[in-house]
Each structure stands twice: as structure tokens, then as C-alpha cells.
């Protein structure tokens, strides 16, 4: 064999906060188009900044640019110094209660474990409700110091308990669903 091929060796494992980041962080390239969508999200952000909590469901087929759009939003609002929390949902953990939240907050793992430990003697539904309340509290804590951008990436894979937790955060009527075409 006369040709030479480079060899690669894995040196270390790094955790990334999102699938998108893992794939595209090194060479994101310029943002193309999506000006209207970006402007709409910026408007939502401005409302959130003035204290009115907002929620947007960004929907569209795989690869259409949902994560890229969020990245552009995050870049655009970086000057506001927002707290940024990305909960990455995974198809491998759709049945794993609270998985995306536990990945982000060690404190969440302790709360969930405590619930499991108490599961014998007490009503399971009550424990689950308490756990959901406590985790929703953790999520809201990230908004105490100033404006926060909280993202559930690939939410179609979120486990039921995580959905319940997110639903518990009161949103007084935001802009709703935004579909990317």
C-alpha cells in the first residue's frame, strides 16, 4: 500500500451543551436569511427582558435551521448578558424521567434520587408532583439574576416528567408556535 493515511486517536471526552454545538461549533459559517424569524424572536426577547415571560415553540423538519436560528438569537442578544440554559433532549432517554434537567443540574439529580428513595412509603403521584415542583423551581432560579434564555433542544424527545416540569413554568400568553419552512 503506497498511499499515506492520517491516523487519529481520541485524547479526551468533552461534554457539549447541545447536539448542534457538538456538530457545528467549529465551522458555523455565516447566518443566511431568516431575518423575519430572527426579528420576531428578538421582539419576543425584548418583551421577556421587560419582565413578561415568553415561550416560543420552534417547529420545523430536521435540518431546517431551528438550532441555527437559536444560535443567531443567542449571538444577537449576547450584549444583554442573558443567563443561558440549554436542556438537550435525547432519543435514548425519552423514558428516563427528568433526564435533560438532571444533565444540567447536579442538584436536580439529588432531588430526583430523594424522590426515588421515598417512593416506598408514600404516594407515588405526590412524590412525582413534589419533584416536578422542585425542578421547576430550579429552572426558575436561573431567571432570578436577570433575563434568561432557556432552551429545550429536540423537545420531541423530552420525557414526560421533563414536559410536566416545563409546563409548570407559568407563561401568561406568549407568541406561541413559530413554524420554520
Find the largest Cα–Cα distance for the chain: 70
- Find the part of the chain contacting ligand ATP (CB under 6 A) among 1-9, 30-38, 86-94, 131-139: 30-38
| Residue 64: all three cell numbers together | 431546517
End-to-end CA distance of the chain: 49
Q: Which residue has the cell 436536580?
A: 108
CA–CA separation, 161 and 99 (whole Å): 9
Per CB under 6 A, 51 contacts ligand ATP = no
Is 66 near ligand ATP (CB under 6 A)? yes
> Least distance to Mg ion from the beta carbon of 91, Å?
13
For residues 127 and 135, give the distance between their C-alpha atoms in angstroms, rounded to a whole number. Answer: 12
Please pick, from the candidates 7, 11, 36, 62, the single residue that binds ligand ATP as defined by CB under 6 A.
62
Count of residues that interact with ligand ATP, criterion CB under 6 A:
17
Query: Residues 18 to 37: which contact Mg ion by CB under 5 A?
Result: 20
Site string for Mg ion, 55-94 (x = CB under 5 A): -----------xx---------------------------
Hey, CA dihedral for 25, 31, 36, 40, is it positive or negative? Answer: positive
Task: Please say which residue, 47 or 84, places its beta carbon nearer to ligand ATP.
Answer: 84
Q: Output DSSP code: residue 50.
A: T
Contact residues for ligand ATP, defined by CB under 6 A: 20, 24, 28-29, 31-34, 60, 62-68, 154
Amino acid at each position: 500500500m503506497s498511499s499515506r493515511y492520517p491516523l487519529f486517536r481520541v485524547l479526551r471526552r468533552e461534554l457539549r451543551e447541545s447536539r448542534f454545538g457538538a456538530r457545528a461549533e467549529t465551522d458555523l459559517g455565516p447566518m443566511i436569511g431568516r431575518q423575519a424569524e430572527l426579528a420576531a424572536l428578538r421582539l419576543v426577547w425584548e418583551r421577556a427582558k421587560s419582565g413578561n415571560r415568553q415561550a416560543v415553540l420552534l417547529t420545523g423538519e430536521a435540518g431546517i435551521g431551528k438550532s441555527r436560528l437559536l444560535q443567531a438569537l443567542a449571538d444577537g442578544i449576547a450584549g444583554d448578558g442573558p443567563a443561558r440554559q440549554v436542556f438537550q433532549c435525547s432519543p435514548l432517554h425519552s423514558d428516563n424521567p427528568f433526564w435533560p434537567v438532571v444533565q444540567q443540574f447536579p442538584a436536580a439529580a439529588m432531588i430526583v434520587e430523594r424522590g426515588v428513595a421515598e417512593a416506598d412509603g408514600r404516594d407515588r403521584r405526590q412524590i412525582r408532583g413534589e419533584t416536578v415542583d422542585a425542578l421547576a423551581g430550579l429552572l426558575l432560579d436561573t431567571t432570578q439574576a436577570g433575563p434568561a434564555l432557556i432552551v429545550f433542544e429536540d423537545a420531541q424527545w423530552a420525557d414526560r416528567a421533563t414536559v410536566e416540569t416545563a409546563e409548570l413554568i407559568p407563561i401568561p400568553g406568549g407568541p406561541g408556535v413559530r413554524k420554520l419552512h
